[in-house]
């Protein structure tokens, strides 16, 4: 699952100060410090990297050999740049889109102390809150004579059009550039029209309302296509880098109810012990209520038992450092107790969980109020090598439930990302920040979603094609799918 990225605040440095800083003596390259950071990196990966087992078991990676190559590169490095490249090459070997390292900017000043009363938040616009329109517009069908753009109020958020095939059938195309609230500034501005003081609670309230509104807008757009008489709908997720938990709601808007959420595993780590502690608090808070809706209390009592067992498992010691010696270790990933990407329940419950403190424990989709089944007809999802993270969750969920045909190229391969803010680790010498995925989502065949999504229909795209050329190559395959009877 993705996390909405906030816009970074760039601190300007006066030109004179920059010149003075550049005139100073360069720090000497410290190979031993880089070696210490690499040793720490290996310890952190063994302790908290959710896909390390997958790397060995599925990718057949030789961890001792991989570490030795990186150490050899560090031994030959003569500069910090070369050392950083050795780290990056090492991490890239894992083929995991969520395994990231960020280097501190050289000479970056410390963050200035906050001015004024911290209890009084400053006025902030939607842009200040990190809402940005995505740059990539996806496939471009506009030059084809049998394509007509759809002009609806929702088209500002979800551009759409109707494509008539050579056989006279119509297919609706809907573009979703990113599956997250922060990608819809025009909707944020409906909720937060002018800059105003906004603290963390205010941000959460805005994000929640934006999530509900974009769900309603997507549902309205597919209904508009239905009124156009389309025989099928294709969701364009090319170059969609992921998003937030809203991806789960979006997947259920475009197909009939009854979608089963993928299984999700956690890791044996203090991060998840804390996650379960907070979930248990929410469950206990709800169980103390005398006014619970019918069917909810037994579900919460079962959830309490599952959370307690999950916390016990997450707290089990698991020293996996010998993995770097090629030796067998304990399992970091805990497949039991079983969780789903949407909570404990595989499908939406018949009872109402909205308004519960622990709604996210059972089925967090209730928070979005998204209308399931706005479209119940034939469905395709267009993907490519830049479709990643939450966009892969969207495609995988529909593919595994046999609700959609996936058309395009194999996806990036990011899998489950970060829960509850994730695990961020600072390397002690270089100051680099390491982000480690802390969960695993499993496909219906038991494979790890980080392997990426293989389309049902492959499109012969190559690097360097324009948006129009990419659409032209996808068009005949899309038409063939639309004109084919049945699924």
Give the CATH number, domain containing residue 153: 3.90.226.10
**CA dist 66 to 44, 88, 324, Å?**
16, 12, 9
Whole-angstrom distance, CA of residue 370 vs CA of residue 373: 9
Range of the domain at 137: 122-255+373-416+439-487
What's this model's pTM, rounded to 2 decimal places?
Answer: 0.89
Most confident residue range from 101-105, 108-112, 216-220: 216-220
User: Distances in Å between the alpha carbon of 347 and those of 258, 259, 332, 372, 461?
Assistant: 6, 6, 27, 12, 36
Dump pLDDT digits (tens) for 188-202.
999 999 999 999 999
Q: How confident is the model at residue 10 (pLDDT cuts 50, 70, 90)?
A: very low
Residues 126 and 243 in one domain: yes
Would you state the pLDDT for residue 21?
A: 39
Q: What is the mean pLDDT of residues 49-75?
A: 95
Mean pLDDT of 87-102: 94
Asked whether the predicted pLDDT for residue 270 surpasses 90, the reply is yes
The token pair that represents 68 in the structure block: 């030795």
Is residue 83 assigned to a domain?
A: yes
Residues 304 and 386 in one domain: no
Q: Are residues 377 and 247 in the same domain?
A: yes
Residue 255 pLDDT greater than 80, yes or no: yes
Is position 237 within any domain? yes
Contact 399, 438 (CB under 8 A): no
Q: Does one domain contain both 162 and 38?
A: no
Same domain, 357 and 314: yes
Q: Are 467 and 139 in contact (CB under 8 A)?
A: yes
Answer whether residue 4 is part of any domain: no
For the cut 60, the answer to whether the pLDDT of residue 410 exceeds it is: yes
Check: CB of residue 357 under 8 Å from CB of residue 282.
yes
Residue 410 CB contacts under 8 Å (≥ 6 apart), including other chains? 385, 452, 453, 454, 455
Across residues 459-469, what is the average pLDDT? 96
CB proximity list for 327: less than 8 A, separation 6 or greater: none
Regarding whether 277 and 347 lie in a shared domain, the answer is yes
User: Are 126 and 234 part of one and the same domain?
Assistant: yes
pLDDT of residue 120: 67
Residue 126: predicted pLDDT: 97
Contact indicator for 351, 69 with CB cutoff of 8 Å: no
Are residues 128 and 230 part of one domain?
A: yes
pLDDT by residue (tens digit) across 257-266? 999 999 999 9
Burial class (CB in 10 A: 0-12, 13-18, 19+), 176: buried
Which SS3 state, helix, strand or coil, does residue 142 take?
coil
447 is a domain residue? yes
Number of domains in the chain: 3
Query: Do 147 and 72 share a structural domain?
Result: no
Q: Is 210 inside any structural domain?
A: yes
In 3-state terms, what secondary structure has residue 385?
A: coil
Query: Is the same domain home to 344 and 365?
Result: yes
Q: Are residues 195 and 315 in the same domain?
A: no
Q: Is residue 211 part of a domain?
A: yes
Cβ-contact 250, 216 below 8 angstroms: no
Q: Is the pLDDT of residue 12 over 50?
A: no
* Residue 143, domain member (yes or no): yes
Pairing of strands 232-236, 378-383: parallel
Per cent of the chain over pLDDT 90 is: 84
In a domain, 127, yes or no: yes
């Amino acid at each position: 699952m993705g996390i909405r990225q906030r816009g970074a605040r760039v601190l300007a440095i006066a030109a004179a100060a920059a010149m003075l800083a550049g005139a100073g003596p360069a720090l000497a390259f410290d190979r031993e410090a880089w070696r210490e950071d690499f040793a720490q990196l290996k310890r952190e990966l063994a302790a908290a990297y959710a896909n390390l087992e997958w790397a060995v078991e599925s990718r057949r990676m030789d961890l001792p050999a991989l570490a030795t190559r990186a150490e050899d590169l560090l031994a030959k490095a003569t500069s910090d740049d070369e050392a950083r490249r050795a780290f990056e090459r090492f991490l890239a070997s894992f083929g995991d889109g969520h395994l990231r390292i960020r280097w501190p900017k050289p000479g970056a000043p410390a963050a200035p102390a906050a001015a004024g009363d911290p209890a009084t938040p400053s006025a902030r616009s939607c842009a200040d809150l990190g809402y940005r329109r995505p740059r990539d517009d996806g496939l471009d069908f506009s030059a084809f004579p049998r394509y007509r753009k759809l002009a609806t109020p929702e088209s500002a958020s979800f551009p759409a059009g109707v494509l008539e095939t050579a056989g006279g059938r119509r297919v609706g195309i809907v573009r979703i550039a990113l599956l997250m609230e922060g990608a819809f500034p025009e909707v944020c501005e409906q909720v937060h029209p002018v800059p105003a003081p906004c603290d963390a609670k205010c941000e959460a309230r805005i994000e929640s309302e934006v999530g509900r509104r974009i769900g309603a807008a997507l549902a309205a757009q597919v209904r508009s296509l239905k009124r156009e008489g389309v025989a099928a709908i294709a969701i364009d997720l090319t170059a969609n880098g992921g998003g937030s938990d809203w991806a789960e709601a979006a997947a259920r808007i475009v197909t009939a109810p009854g979608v089963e959420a993928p299984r999700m595993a956690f890791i044996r780590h203090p991060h998840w012990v804390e996650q379960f502690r907070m979930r248990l608090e929410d469950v206990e808070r709800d169980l103390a209520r005398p006014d619970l809706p019918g069917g909810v209390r037994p579900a919460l009592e079962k959830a309490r038992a599952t959370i307690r067992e999950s916390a016990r498992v997450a707290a089990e010691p698991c020293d996996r450092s010998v993995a770097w010696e090629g030796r067998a270790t304990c399992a970091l990933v805990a497949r039991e107790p079983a969780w789903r990407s949407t909570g404990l329940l595989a499908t939406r419950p018949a009872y109402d969980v909205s308004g519960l403190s622990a709604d996210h424990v059972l089925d967090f989709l209730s928070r979005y109020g998204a209308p399931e089944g706005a479209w119940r007809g034939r469905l395709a999802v267009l993907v490519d090598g830049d479709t990643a993270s939450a966009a892969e969750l969207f495609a995988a969920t529909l593919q595994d439930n046999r609700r959609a045909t996936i058309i395009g190229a194999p996806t990036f391969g990011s899998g489950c990302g970060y829960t509850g803010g994730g695990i961020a680790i600072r390397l002690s010498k270089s100051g680099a920040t390491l982000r480690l995925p802390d969960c695993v989502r499993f496909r219906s065949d038991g494979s790890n979603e980080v392997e990426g999504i293989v389309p049902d229909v492959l499109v012969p795209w190559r690097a360097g094609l324009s948006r129009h050329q990419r659409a032209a190559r996808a068009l005949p395959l899309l038409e063939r799918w639309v004109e084919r009877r049945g699924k």
